[in-house]
Amino acid sequence: MDSKDQCMLFKVVVNSTREEFYCTPVYAANQNKNRLDLWKYIFDYADLVHGPWITLGDWNAIRFHGDKKGGSRVPQRMLDEFNLCLQQVSKDFVSGPKPFKMLKVWCDKREVLPLVQQAWDINVKGIPMHRLLLKLRNVKKDVKQWNKNVFGDVGEKIIQMTLKLETIQGSLLQNPTDAMLDEEQTIRDEYESAMADQEIMMAQKSILFWLWDNDKCTAYFHKKLKQHRNFNAITKIENAEGVVLTDPATISSWFVEYYQKLFSKSSSEVVCDFVPRHTLDEIENDMLEGQLPMKKSREW
């Protein structure tokens, strides 16, 4: 049906059953910039496929960091490009087991802790290490099922809530009622909750991305960097006379003046400012300066 430099697409017909499926052998390029063309080819093939589809061969790419052993670490950007291609082609893509990660946003949901406790309390047998492994598997299974059936896809929730908000707000413009206002507020609350969940998830993922890729200079990272700078900024300070300074220029001048005075002193003066003086009276000084009385040792 089609042939490219890194892949091809053809239809297979089983003679005995007349069943049909599509097949795409792949031999990906070694360089990532050339593999970008492959992801585009696979995406284009999806429009030509109408039935079961199997891909095989050497992709020269991995989906997760745990899929690779040894060598230098693969940049997260390359993993994202490969996974995005597969997700766009099919939501039912089947591959190796995906590593389980406990998301921080789950811990904020009130039903998660009882769920984890219930799974952990299941009685298992074996040596202590084996029991620990079985308990962790029980927790993993129940949490993954809850995430799929209850928590769901946060991105999809946001899209649905956005569409509902647009619909209800359009109706309010034509015929506003108290019931519609209540419904709009309910949808808005759900939308804001989903957005908060997404922000927590992105914050958790950004920590890993930042370590792996040394920051991609995205708008999200610049926003977080700006927040850190605002948190560390000094907006007011009280000087030695008890006057509160709020003007940035005045605060800056005060710091410069303070440290100029501090570093202009000799080291002995700086130390003496913090060391208490004249803490002993004359009698105590005489006791310290006098000779200690010598006692004869007792003979046994």
| 66-123 pLDDT per residue, tens | 777 777 778 888 888 887 777 767 655 555 556 677 888 888 888 888 999 999 999 9
Q: For residue 149, what are its two tokens?
A: 């059936």
Nearest to 157 by CA among 143, 147, 171, 168: 147
Tell me whether strands 53-58 and 20-27 are parallel, antiparallel or unpaired: parallel
**What does the DSSP 8-state code read for residue 276?**
-
Burial of 6 (0-12, 13-18, 19+ CB in 10 A): buried
Query: Amino acid identity, residue 49?
Result: V
Stated pTM of the model:
0.39
Contacts of 99 (CB under 8 A, 6+ apart): 64, 66
Q: Which pLDDT value is given to residue 117?
A: 92
Residue stretches of the chain with pLDDT short of 70: 88, 90-99, 205-232, 265-281, 285, 287-300
